[in-house]
Amino acid sequence: MIIVMKTGATVEQVEEVAKRLTDEGLKIHLSQGVEKTLMGAIGDRQRIKSLDLEALPWVEKVVPILAPYKLVSREFHPEDTIIRVGGQEIGGKTVHIMAGPCAVESREQILETAAVVRESGATFLRGGAFKPRTSPYSFQGLEEEGLRYMAEAREKTGLLVVTEVIDARDVGLVADYADVLQIGARNMQNFILLKEVAKCGKPVLLKRGPSATLEEWMMAAEYIMDGGNYQVMFCERGIRTFESYTRNTLDLSMVPALHTLSHLPVIIDPSHGTGKWHLVHPMAKAALAAGADGLIVEVHPQPEKAVSDGKQSLTPEKFQRMMADLGRLAPALDRELGSVSQSVG
Amino acid sequence: MIIVMKTGATVEQVEEVAKRLTDEGLKIHLSQGVEKTLMGAIGDRQRIKSLDLEALPWVEKVVPILAPYKLVSREFHPEDTIIRVGGQEIGGKTVHIMAGPCAVESREQILETAAVVRESGATFLRGGAFKPRTSPYSFQGLEEEGLRYMAEAREKTGLLVVTEVIDARDVGLVADYADVLQIGARNMQNFILLKEVAKCGKPVLLKRGPSATLEEWMMAAEYIMDGGNYQVMFCERGIRTFESYTRNTLDLSMVPALHTLSHLPVIIDPSHGTGKWHLVHPMAKAALAAGADGLIVEVHPQPEKAVSDGKQSLTPEKFQRMMADLGRLAPALDRELGSVSQSVG
Amino acid sequence: MIIVMKTGATVEQVEEVAKRLTDEGLKIHLSQGVEKTLMGAIGDRQRIKSLDLEALPWVEKVVPILAPYKLVSREFHPEDTIIRVGGQEIGGKTVHIMAGPCAVESREQILETAAVVRESGATFLRGGAFKPRTSPYSFQGLEEEGLRYMAEAREKTGLLVVTEVIDARDVGLVADYADVLQIGARNMQNFILLKEVAKCGKPVLLKRGPSATLEEWMMAAEYIMDGGNYQVMFCERGIRTFESYTRNTLDLSMVPALHTLSHLPVIIDPSHGTGKWHLVHPMAKAALAAGADGLIVEVHPQPEKAVSDGKQSLTPEKFQRMMADLGRLAPALDRELGSVSQSVG
Amino acid sequence: MIIVMKTGATVEQVEEVAKRLTDEGLKIHLSQGVEKTLMGAIGDRQRIKSLDLEALPWVEKVVPILAPYKLVSREFHPEDTIIRVGGQEIGGKTVHIMAGPCAVESREQILETAAVVRESGATFLRGGAFKPRTSPYSFQGLEEEGLRYMAEAREKTGLLVVTEVIDARDVGLVADYADVLQIGARNMQNFILLKEVAKCGKPVLLKRGPSATLEEWMMAAEYIMDGGNYQVMFCERGIRTFESYTRNTLDLSMVPALHTLSHLPVIIDPSHGTGKWHLVHPMAKAALAAGADGLIVEVHPQPEKAVSDGKQSLTPEKFQRMMADLGRLAPALDRELGSVSQSVG
């Protein structure tokens, strides 16, 4: 941590800051420039964090040097984390495609969708049973019934199930049915929910909040890891900017950025990331080329009848064409698409 | 709702859209321009919402005409809502100042702060007992112990208590102690929590999410009102932008905007809204002049020893100077500052 | 400047960085932490700036300590700058209201508007003769003819003239007619134009770019001051954010922020800052309370017939009501509104 | 255009709006809903634009239906535009890599860089002779001398030259030396400069402003085309968001969005788009996969000695590795990298 004193700070003021730091057991280096006095403080990072020196009127600013996260950092875990779930590996050479409708609407809809996305090469089935809706008047999900239909689809297709949990009280229930628990973008900083999924024993797909910085996102993952669950994957789904042609601005640079700073896998959601079905296919290819470890894509048998997000959902035919293109692309990137190995009844 | 067809849409495609709408019981008006075909659809707003026509490839865009909210809208409730709590009225001529530390740290700290802010003219005591912290390694709050200290401070000073609830399971507990429940910025779209506070019987202070649009914010209030709790006040606390000198960008235009679109009171938080104590005083004056119904301000007896947010907290002396300035300003705006009428033991 | 080395940087790599710095004549302090090696570099700020050390793979980041601006900084000029123009003073106790139409449309329109805004208490007449329009098909301004009408309005009313210059080749022409030259938001970083107005001998009103940071804005002012023109005033007119109810997000916190960091006056434009006429009045009051040294407001005799920006323009009646309210507010803020002292023919 | 009247608008107010529209020769359709009255107006799009109906107090909002651009639109020009310059074609199957230093620093530097980037497969040499710098104290470019060095590099390597023009007075000079004129991000809405390059007879690479919407960007291109120059290519270089790990947020979704809405080629700048050299390579691959027609990349023989942007510049070795990867990727996307056909002396 570097403390920059205001121009004109007196010797006494500098000494008071120094005393506060040494009282906390920190070692300090004083550096007297022509215009500014700086102080470097070295020691336990938690102790440093708890000092709020910028509250002092003669301190101009405090510059943190160490990142606030630890467990998610590649510095502490240089090798890539591979998440193993239901016979699949996420984070290695294989790229996984997670596909399905925004919301589980009926047994027929989810079984039909599961069959067609598996046919095209998906390895995970996505679908919302609990829906966080911005309007109280919108469809709120089939809840446990929806989870049962997804579990049935897993039985029939071998696809693994990824689904969102929105209430800390439901984590156990969702974990009973799902293979991967999703934390939605609006809940990225719902710390109560993060602490609960930390205890659930299932891998977590952590979506980025629509205005979360990279550091805040990593800190949210740190919450889950600090709670004992090391199977976390990041999911970029677009951030909120002034651009309104797209629903969000899909920030693909997070793929290489996270691969640099962290050891955890990175999944891309081009459906929410763009909000328009005709942009999903090209952005899925771009995500793969950027190095994503997986994609999560909305597919609906009849998008125009979907209860939500129809305008960003692919039809089964468009999904199949996208998968064909991704299949051509993967070898040129030294990656391969996943497949469902398990034989299905 | 207006449906804009793509240039070149065929008669059959236009008719298919028309059929979908009339099948839902909507009346339609067709409008054939030189370049575009438009269709206006009139009828029940919930039915219209559930059609996802932009999923159709020959529909260019769908333009909603009616706002998605109802109960929060001034169109449905032309008079200002006055929230009555503990003998105070929020939303009328009186401006309320809510003041106190970011976090309740100890009995002494909260009692001392309560006494000094009351002395300077505050009518509500703020303070966090449950803290949503971005780092799992930061202080997480005194929890129920903190609530008890705040209740004791109310006994001693007559100040009403506003405090945040972060877990749906704690709503009953917090409502037992607090006069107003705060929904924090990160929880503005935690719909589980919104539904729970809708049932608590206490007024709710709903902070704006750091990247929430005005419409999403109003929809979050709609959730609470739709759940049966009509005592909602908005609290603007700054939005996330590219500007980094300030912690957030305090969007004071929301005060007149909300007063136009809604009947609910609007509170301003210049502490989180700027993140720097020296900006709090001028922005508090600006908020009052913009028409705010109240302010919520961080005050700490020793900001540089605060466990959080010290750099945006006022000392008691600075708070007193701010209150003096607000007291001079209010009459020129036809407002008056609130006061604690109740005699205290 | 602080250089943070990557974890694991070798002694040789640290020494190479040190050598680069000392070769440039800088003094360095080495600080070896448990996890990171830091280096502080002290010396001439231009020499430090020209080193691009983050290009080195083993440097994690470079943290600048000194601000990149000098002439605009309050550290170098502790007293407020008062700009004296045509008998008026901007930057002292007096608050100036600059009012007029977005575009000069005709002689009648500008003379009529000038008369009414002067009547209500404005001291400057605003109006665009050269219009930077986002569409090539929009009205581009009356050019020199417009300047002549404004000069005529000055003759008749005593109002001073502020108008925008958009082409470096027109600076001399505009300076012949105007009292204050405006640099529009889109030209804030048009360095060619900045260099030209630096030589014009007239005060400059420098609008903030729609996505300019505070530091970039101050650097744009530095360009003008470095070119020899010290009569610069800042003008905040809203920044671009995700919020779309307002045209821009008016960032009033820039008023106290600039008054802290700089000695130059700050003007607020609530018309562009909100884009809606019904928000202009409350935000004008808020700007005054935040400490603004002036306001620039769009007024049009018939807003619904304006060639541009009608929806954010006040009618003369609404302007008069706003001025009355500002007049009541100013004394409670120890300010006073300006007035046209000069007797007019 | 759809005009939405406020709830409670009287018959007289509706009729007044109708009259204004019919007076302008527009045909109107009236649509009376349960809660709102709407009016559709059909006719010449320029006439509609010039009416500022939102200035009327009883008009709630005006919803434009037609896009404000024409010449850039794919609706008016369904086939892709191919830009032919110096024997190369931009906008077809071939992807062009434009590479070189941020600034031309010396004859040796530019000749050396040209040789190595051509060796690796670039077809265009980039380099700034006129530099728009945020600080007046930074290096401002070699100006005409820099242009001469670039022209010499073209002679020696066969690479075509793309370079920025920042002053309307220099357009002729730059066009004498360059093959493609670049409009920098900060000048995207410098309409004076746009009008000048419209007359220069050379293709224009139009960078997106850091906070420009897609529509504003297309309108800037419309300026150039309306001025008679149809050889325009878009260049996405990142937008400004709250994320600060990257210098900008590279918005790759603009590639398919522009290919949908427009017929003009799209180039991506991953160097400015990320600001960090280690993100350039993966984002270049992503850009290619998203469908970009070219890339513009900063390469410097010794990035740590560059006068600007060293931290986002690739070394020749890193550039070569990136080109090898792009070469592998292109066939899987049915694209091919360009090559310099001309034999060089």
Question: With 80 as the cut, is the pLDDT of residue C52 above it?
Answer: no
Asked whether C195 and C225 are in contact (CB, 8 A), the reply is no
Q: Which of C93-102, C169-178, C234-243, D71-80 has the lowest mean pLDDT?
A: D71-80
pLDDT at position C343 is 57
pLDDT at position A344 is 54
pLDDT at position D44 is 66
Say if residue C160 is exposed, middle or buried (CB neighbours under 10 Å; 0-12, 13-18, 19+): buried
Residue D74 lies in a domain: no
Residue B75 lies in a domain: no
Contact call for C65 and A31, based on CB within 8 A:
no
Residue B136 lies in a domain: yes
Q: Which residues pair with D239 in a beta bridge?
A: D249
**D177 and D293 inside one domain:** yes
Q: D7: closest CA among B265, A135, C310, B260?
A: B260
Question: With 70 as the cut, is the pLDDT of residue C47 above it?
Answer: no
Q: How far apart are CA D94 and CA D97, in angstroms?
A: 10
Contact call for C49 and D133, based on CB within 8 A:
no
**A135 and A30 inside one domain:** no
pLDDT at position D342 is 60
Amino acid at D28: I
**By CA distance, what is A6's nearest residue in C?**
C75
**B25 and B58 inside one domain:** yes
Q: Which of A280-289, A304-313, C301-310, D36-45 has the lowest mean pLDDT?
A: D36-45
Amino acid at C46: Q
Asked whether C207 and C185 are in contact (CB, 8 A), the reply is yes
Could you tell me how far CA A154 lies from the centroid of its own chain?
Answer: 23
> Could you tell me if residue D152 is left (phi over 0), alpha (psi between -120 and 50 degrees) or otherwise beta?
alpha
pLDDT at position A38 is 82
**C46 and C93 inside one domain:** no
Asked whether D98 and D297 are in contact (CB, 8 A), the reply is yes
Average pLDDT over every residue of A29-43: 77
Average pLDDT over every residue of D32-57: 74
Asked whether A297 and A99 are in contact (CB, 8 A), the reply is yes
pLDDT at position B345 is 46
pLDDT at position A345 is 46
Average pLDDT over every residue of A1-10: 84
Contact call for C253 and B241, based on CB within 8 A:
no
Q: How far apart are CA D28 and CA D22, in angstroms?
A: 7
**B146 and B58 inside one domain:** no
pLDDT at position D63 is 81
How close B242 comes to chain A (CA, Å)? 10
What values do phi and psi take at D320, rounded to 5? -60, -40
- Please state, in angstroms and as integers, the Cα–Cα distance from residue D313 to each residue in B47, D146, D271, following that order: 54, 19, 7
**D148 and D25 inside one domain:** no
CATH number at residue A50: 3.30.70.1140
Cβ contacts below 8 Å, chain B against chain D, sum to 46
CATH number at residue A235: 3.20.20.70
Average pLDDT over every residue of A38-60: 75
pLDDT at position C185 is 97
Residue C71 lies in a domain: no
Q: How far apart are CA C48 and CA C59, in angstroms?
A: 15
pLDDT at position B112 is 97
pLDDT at position C44 is 66
Q: Which residues of chain C have a Cβ shorter than 8 Å from any chain B Cβ?
A: 211, 213-215, 239, 241-246, 249-253, 255-257, 260, 273-274, 278-279, 281-283, 285-291, 328-329, 331-333
Q: How far apart are CA B134 and CA B113, in angstroms?
A: 25
Contact call for A251 and D245, based on CB within 8 A:
no
How close D33 comes to chain B (CA, Å)? 6
Q: How far apart are CA C130 and CA C141, in angstroms?
A: 5
For chain B, which ranges sit under pLDDT 50? Answer: 345
Amino acid at D303: P
Residue B275: both structure tokens together: 């993140």
Residue D256's domain spans which residues? 83-337
pLDDT at position D345 is 46
Average pLDDT, chain D: 92
Question: With 90 as the cut, is the pLDDT of residue C33 above it?
Answer: no
Residue C206 lies in a domain: yes
Question: With 50 as the cut, is the pLDDT of residue C345 above it?
Answer: no
Average pLDDT over every residue of C248-269: 98
B33, B63, B93: which is the final residue of a domain?
A: B63
Question: With 90 as the cut, is the pLDDT of residue D26 above it?
Answer: no
**B264 and B160 inside one domain:** yes
Question: With 70 as the cut, is the pLDDT of residue A342 above it?
Answer: no
pLDDT digits (tens, 9 = 90+) for D143-179: 999 999 999 999 999 999 999 999 999 999 999 999 9
pLDDT digits (tens, 9 = 90+) for A174-221: 999 999 999 999 999 999 999 999 999 999 999 999 999 999 999 999
Question: With 90 as the cut, is the pLDDT of residue A249 above it?
Answer: yes
Average pLDDT over every residue of C265-269: 98
**B34 and B131 inside one domain:** no
**A56 and A91 inside one domain:** no
- Please state, in angstroms and as integers, the Cα–Cα distance from residue B233 to each residue in B228, B255, B259, following that order: 14, 12, 11
pLDDT digits (tens, 9 = 90+) for C180-230: 999 999 999 999 999 999 999 999 999 999 999 999 999 999 999 999 999
Asked whether D102 and C186 are in contact (CB, 8 A), the reply is no
Amino acid at D318: K
**B155 and B31 inside one domain:** no
Average pLDDT, chain C: 92
Residue B70 lies in a domain: no
Question: With 70 as the cut, is the pLDDT of residue A44 above it?
Answer: no
Residues of D in contact with B63 (CB under 8 A): 2, 63
**B230 and B282 inside one domain:** yes
Residue A75 lies in a domain: no
Total domains, chain A: 2
Contact call for D252 and A283, based on CB within 8 A:
yes
pLDDT digits (tens, 9 = 90+) for B299-340: 999 888 887 788 899 999 999 999 999 999 999 999 999 999
pLDDT at position A204 is 98
**D222 and D328 inside one domain:** yes
Contact call for A31 and C36, based on CB within 8 A:
no
The residue count of chain C comes to 345
